[in-house]
Copies of this chain bind each other. A is one copy, B any other.
Amino acid sequence: MKKKVTGKDVAKAIGVSAMTVSRALNNSPHIDETTKKRVLNAMYNLGYTPNHIARSLVLKRTYTIGVVIPEFTHSFFPEVIRGIEEVVNNSGYRLLLTHSAENHKQEQAALSTLRQNRVDGILISTIQNVKSNKYYRELRNLDIPVVFFDRYFRNIGVSSVGVNDRKCSYKITEHLIQHKYRKIGYLAGHKNIYIAQQRKKGYQQALNDYGLPIVENLILDSGFHEEDGYKAVKKLLNGKKKNIPRGIVAVNDPAAIGALQALNENGIEVPDDIAIVGFSNDIRGELIQPPLTTLDQPAYEIGVRAAKKLIAHITNESEPVEQILIDAPLIIRKTCGC
């Protein structure tokens, strides 16, 4: 294990001051070209690597962006990170990645880690079972800029980037209605999540706009995962016949996939007996039988937009707080039956 070479070592090696080394490194105009070359040469020969830690300490900027993601397994977040990563790297920043595992304590710890590391800004997608947004309101008072992505809150003075859940949910519900479905049920996500609320509202508004009644019994309690959709449909099939819809709008793809499995197991033909649509364009939706009609949640773009907005906040003190909504295109496959 070699000892680390410092700027001073480089300076000593060629008989200049540490400042000259620093100037060579940072392309200062106040340095002779010849001297600069000598320094650069010596750096290379000695295997010098600038100490970003020390640099950060004096500059009070780390050029590092912190990310908090709630889960890793789903294909969505890795894709978002790819988008973030693209922007961040091209802007000379680094990425410090943390993980909340859908757990409040871990999320707090993650935020604390990022702050201790003095990241210049934070991108966060919150955990799901948020009881109140009081905690997140405080992020506004943090000493560094924050941008929410995918899962967000409005009206708390923090910028966010997400899909236009309400509008898109409306769109896919409308798609079913336009194809003559009338009795349309809903597979709901967690009540406390803003996006779940919005998607439900979109579903309800579509029914409303087309003069269809909103039937509470057709709205099934569920969650965001396969097992949630699976259980909800199992329960539905064991319940009263009159509560069984002709079409189902699911809060997301995993829930739809779980539901589809339950339907398949019970010999119910999709879409002939019951149609079903999802939300998020999970990688499996295309392969499952029958292929799932869904909305393409543009993960990569969400990452890109969120990262850009955050860097704007970092760079420009007066960058306006904004709720950025991205449209999710409809992907028509087989489960809608058209």
Contacts and interface: CB of A to CB of B under 8 A. Distances in A.
B72 A85 contact: yes
Copies in the complex: 2
B97 A95 contact: yes
A89 B113 CA distance: 10
A96 interface: yes
Interface residues of A, number: 45
Contacts of A89: 99
Interface in A83-102: 85, 89, 94-99
Interface stretch (A15-23, A49-57, A240-248): A49-57
A95 B94 contact: no
Contacts of A143: 1-4
Interface stretch (A152-160, A184-192, A283-291): A283-291
A78 B299 CA distance: 15
A266 interface: no
A52 B2 contact: no
Given A116-B51, A289-B289, A96 B95 contact: yes
Contacts of A97: 81, 85, 95-97
Interface centre among A77, A143, A144 (most CB of B within 10 A): A143
A112 interface: yes
A41 interface: no
A218 B95 CA distance: 45
A135 B199 CA distance: 51
A26 interface: no
Nearest to A82: B72
B49 A53 contact: no
Interface in A3-58: 3-4, 49-54, 56-57
A-B residue pairs, 10 tightest by C-beta? A287-B287, A78-B78, A52-B116, A72-B82, A97-B97, A2-B143, A49-B115, A52-B117, A53-B56, A53-B118
9 contacts: A49-B112, A51-B116, A52-B117, A64-B117, A73-B78, A73-B79, A82-B99, A85-B97, A97-B97
Interface of A: 1-4, 49-54, 56-57, 62, 64, 72-73, 75, 77-79, 81-82, 85, 89, 94-99, 112-113, 115-118, 141, 143-144, 283-284, 287-289, 317
